Structure 1
Amino acid sequence: MRARAILAALVLVAWPTSAPAAADPEPTALYDALDLKERPADYIVLLDTSGTMSSQQTAVKQQLKGLLKAKGKQDSVTLVRFDRRPYHRSALETDADIDGLPTPVGEYTDIGRALEWVVRYLREHPSRLAAVMLVSDGIQEPAPGSPYGSANGPAWDRLRDQAAGLKPQPLLYTFPFGGADVRRHQDEIVERVFPANAQILDPRQSQATKDLSMVKDDSLRAEARRRVAADLKRGVAATWKQPDVRLDLARGTGSLTLDVRSQTEVLPLELRAVEVEVSDGKERVTGRSALPAPIRIEPGRTVPVPIELSWAEPSAIRVQPVALDLSRTVRVRATVQTPWEGDLGLLGLSYGKQQIGTDAARVTGSYRGAPSWWAAAAAVVLVAALIVLLLWWRRARRRRPPKMTGVLLSAYVKDAEDAWDEHTLGPVHLGGRRSVRTAELAPELDLPGGSVKGTVDVRAAADGITITYAPEGLPGRSDTATCPLGRRVMINGVEFIYRTTSED
């Protein structure tokens, strides 16, 4: 038998109880949702008991004791010894169980049969997913007649196909103690069954203990990634509860319901940036989501999202009949994200953003409004009032005198040193006015108490103007006369001349 010098650890990961303190930050929300910390892990150790393993017995026991320290309180470690085939199974609970292991005396090492036993065990116990470790110091050296005697063959192909069907797919760790040739040979054997999942770890005892403690964290993260992988490509299904809705246009508002169902199994989703699009028409209609964003949707659940529509409500004051007809299409667009994006980032994953758009829902409505009786009555009263006001205005206009035209002058005779002189005052322009009061046309009178100046009031008349002259400015001593255009009148000793502006 050739000397063998490799210690390999093959780990098929399940749902362990806890991650080590030195691990990266945990995606806590994901772990809690998947109950990853509540499920115990079963570590199965496949121990090569061929004779040459006796030289590695001390190192093997140290590694197994490190595994007992790294496991959680609810985890279990099962030891399966093999040489030409697996032949003994026992539980490892204390260091005493490890110290009591017998000295290896076997003649062959059939790693193929050991891996076959593991694959068959995991297929028969799918609910007890476990971490399996292969501990061997040698390369594949089966007994005569083993189906795994050659490097390639139908037995290896069949075993690889069976391993590919395991859920979850295993993570593999090897702790090589031999040289480069032994390590390469051991890697080839592992890759025949699990071609994509092998990791090589440091065989030194101090570092190996740390690596074993990381197995639990790697296992948990691998299971979390597997469980959410399908959800990364899933979104939501949005359907209208009633794709054809009749609206009451008299209210000015209406609603329809969009059912949004999450297609994920693990990840909660959120609707963000919800936009409601309403087709154009004569009457402007707007829409919005009645639920504030973000709208959370739990895995596999359906959330009804009310969509509110609004338009101009018909006026309550109607003098004429009102007819409204409305037909629109409504669509909703939104962005879908997950609130667990941070946890996914800790696993090297991302859900990102998905854009969704709904089919068109159709909303219709009609409204027929008769004139309001009180509005009609008010309109009748208003029209009647306008007619009365117009008649009054026309009558008042007919009764009012026309505006005056021309100019007015005055003339009087005054004794000036034994000679009588004629004096003329004015003119005062009357054009465009209906009444004028002026003192310009009144002569100044010398009275015992002093000189006074009278007033002249001029008003428009149907046949000219009416002149009222108060010599002393007192209404009680005034006289009035009517003067046609182009004529003269004498009032209280003063002659008033009414003529056009064109006269000299």
Structure 2
Amino acid sequence: MTHHPVRRLARGVAVAGLAALALAVPLSAPASADDSREDIFRRLQADQVPADYVVLVDTSSSMATSNLYGGVRATLGSFLGGLSPSDHVALFTFDEDAVPRYIGPAGNTSRMLAELPATATGSSTDIGRAIEQAVGELERPGAAAVASVVLITDGAHSPASSSDYPQSTGPAWSTLKARAAKLKATSVKGYALPLSGESGASLLGSVVRGTTVLDPSAVAQLGAYLDRSKTGARLGKAKVLLAADQGKGVTATWEAPATADLTGRDAPVTLTLRSDTTHTPLTVTGLSASIADGPQVTGDLPDRVDLAPGEARTFPLALRWDRDPLPIPFRDSDTSNGPLALIGQVTAPWAKALSPDIDLRTRATVAGDPRTVTVTSTVGTWTAQAIAAAAAALVLMLLALILYLRKRAPQSGTLVAVSPMTGQEVARFPLRGRLTRFGGPPLTGEGTVVARRVPRQDTNTDGVEYEITFRRLDRTDTTTLPSRGSVLLGGMAFEHQPPPEPIPARR
């Protein structure tokens, strides 16, 4: 392999790494689904990611025909001048051998062009040797993760007899292909630009996978085709930056007490949404927070949350438990032990513009472990329960009294005690109120009378009957006395006499 002083000089150039650029790049404005790839590359500052450009230019004598070589030189000036200062350029010419003309950082276009020969005078076209130099350049320590190999030629592979690549195939080509497959660069693209129909430029594709064979019909179109390699390199730079974001999304975390009493008050909780990406902005929609088994999560969650890379946003919420009170305000406690859960859809505004070349594979839903909270809530109070119980007892007592009073009718008329032996009246007692006590001389005994309502019938037109309890000596007897009727009880006859009918007033 032929070495050149320029190559030795290039070995000393330190390449600032991707590591510095792997830090998140702050967005100057919110990302939008309408961002173009150019917008995305600018936001990513993709041009600051170093890329390797290896340019192989045919200088065989056929390139002098119709001033092909002069047109290539002129076009290369514009192409090389448009590279980023962080890019690394290796410029080779090839004919019977491949000669490095410039190896170093981009930016010094005039020097690069000055190193090119003024005319194309080579006697052979060794494309194999040129590709070998390109592979060797990309094998160097510190090579960039993104690389483009551009091959420009107008002829078929026609090497000198001493070439290691005498044919278009063979062991040397297989070895070269194996070396290219082991390159550490994550993105290596080849661009073959044949300037004639019989060109061997397509041989680049046999070594570098993913080679695109472009077909400019004239040197004037060469610049536009060369720009494709820059576009491909920028996409490769974006891939390098976004690789760490693939499969990432948004994580939710909760700040909440382990236990909370929600009786008559809310318990504050905090939701934090954090973007897990380094470079990719994310959007969360359809947010909904909940907790199982009765309680609710209250507060304002926006319909849309835009998160810059690595950004976290916090939302104050609250736990509430609106339990329906019991019909009677008895004290009642309930406990719920459930997880705080969140639903939300996550999208990447850049996904459409980057597809299909870069698939971000953003997690579609918000991730995060639910926070389990034990909450209690009490309705009613002991005081209310006591008052309610007392009120219920009072109502029951009133109902019992009403029933009692409805059953115990007011008494009227007179209870007459008659000797059953003589038929003579012994005593009489007026019946008043709902309980009448009677007894004393000349009646040898005492008792009580209560009245109760009964259905009216022919034998009892008043609808009242009297229950008489009579105690005489050591014996107590009870019986029922119909209104206007008589009974024998405890050796004494008792009869009921109704009150006298009122005398009509004289007119």
TM value normalised by structure 2: 0.57
2-side partners of 1:38 and 1:73: how far apart?
11
1:193 corresponds to: 207
What's the CA shift for 1:240? 5.8
Q: Does 1:89 align with 2:106?
A: no
TM-superposed deviation, 1:192 = 1.6
2:118 counterpart of 1:102: yes
Which residue number corresponds to residue 61 of structure 1? 70
Task: Provide the C-alpha distance between the structure 2 equivalents of 1:209 and 1:320, rounded to a whole number of angstroms.
Answer: 88
The one-letter amino acid of 2:119's match is T
- CA distance 1:299–1:348, change in 2 (3 Å): closer
- Kept in 1, the 8 Å contact 2:282–2:347? The answer is yes
Q: How many angstroms does 1:35 deviate by?
A: 0.5
**Superposed displacement of residue 110, structure 1:** 2.8
Q: How does 1:34-433 map to 2 (within 5 A)?
A: 34-38=44-48, 44-55=54-65, 58-70=67-79, 71-72=81-82, 79-90=91-102, 93-94=109-110, 97=113, 101-124=117-140, 125-127=142-144, 131-144=148-161, 146-153=163-170, 155-164=172-181, 165-179=183-197, 182-183=198-199, 185-187=200-202, 189-225=203-239, 227-228=241-242, 231-238=245-252, 245-254=258-267, 261-280=274-293, 284-287=294-297, 291-300=301-310, 308-312=318-322, 320-344=330-354, 354-355=364-365, 360-366=370-376, 371=381
Q: Give me the whole-angstrom Cα distance separating, in 1, the residues matched to 2:172 and 2:253.
A: 51
Residues 231 and 374 of structure 1, relative CA distance in 2, 3 Å threshold: closer
Q: CA deviation at 1:193?
A: 1.2
- Seen in structure 2, the aligned counterparts of structure 1 residues 250 and 92 have a Cα distance that, compared at 3 Å, is closer
Letter in 1 for 2:37: P
For 2:112 and 2:349, the matched residues in 1 are separated by: 48
Which letter does structure 2 place at the counterpart of 1:210?
Answer: A
Residues 193 and 298 of structure 1: CA distance in aligned 2, closer, same or farther (over 3 Å): same
Query: Matched residue of 1:328: which SS?
Result: strand
User: Residue type of the partner of 2:65?
Assistant: S
* Alpha-carbon separation, structure 2, partners of 1:210 and 1:173: 12
Cα distance in 2 for partners of 1:261, 1:174 equals 45
1:430 counterpart residue number: none
Partner letter of residue 71 of structure 2?
Q
TM-superposed CA distance for 1:204, in Å, is: 0.8
CA displacement at 1:215 relative to structure 2? 4.0
Cα deviation, 1:86-106, whole Å, max 9, x if unaligned, reads 334249735995698333343
Unmatched 5+ residue regions in structure 2?
1-17, 19-33, 413-499
Rounded to whole Å, the distance in 2 between the matches of 1:193 and 1:217 is 21
What is the CA-CA distance between 1:141 and the residue it aligns to? 3.5
Matched residue, 1:11: none
Shift of 1:191: 1.6
Amino acid at match of 2:132: E
1:272 is paired with a residue of what secondary structure?
strand
TM-score (norm 1): 0.58
Give the deviation of 1:38 after TM superposition: 4.8
Aligned-residue offset at 1:337: 0.9
Q: Deviations for 1:45-76, whole angstroms, at most 9, x for unmatched residues? A: 322333444436x2122133123235438568
Give 1:11-22 correspondences, 5 Å limit. Answer: none
Once the 2 structures are TM-superposed, how far is the Cα of residue 111 of structure 1 from its aligned partner? 2.3
Secondary structure of the residue aligned to 2:72 is helix
Which residue matches 1:33? 43
The residue type paired with residue 131 of structure 2 is: L
- Please list every run of 5 or more consecutive structure 1 residues that lacks an aligned counterpart in the other structure: 1-14, 16-23, 403-483, 493-504
Aligned pair in 2 of structure 1 residues 342, 292: CA closer, same or farther (>3 Å)?
A: same
Give percent identity, aligned residues only: 25
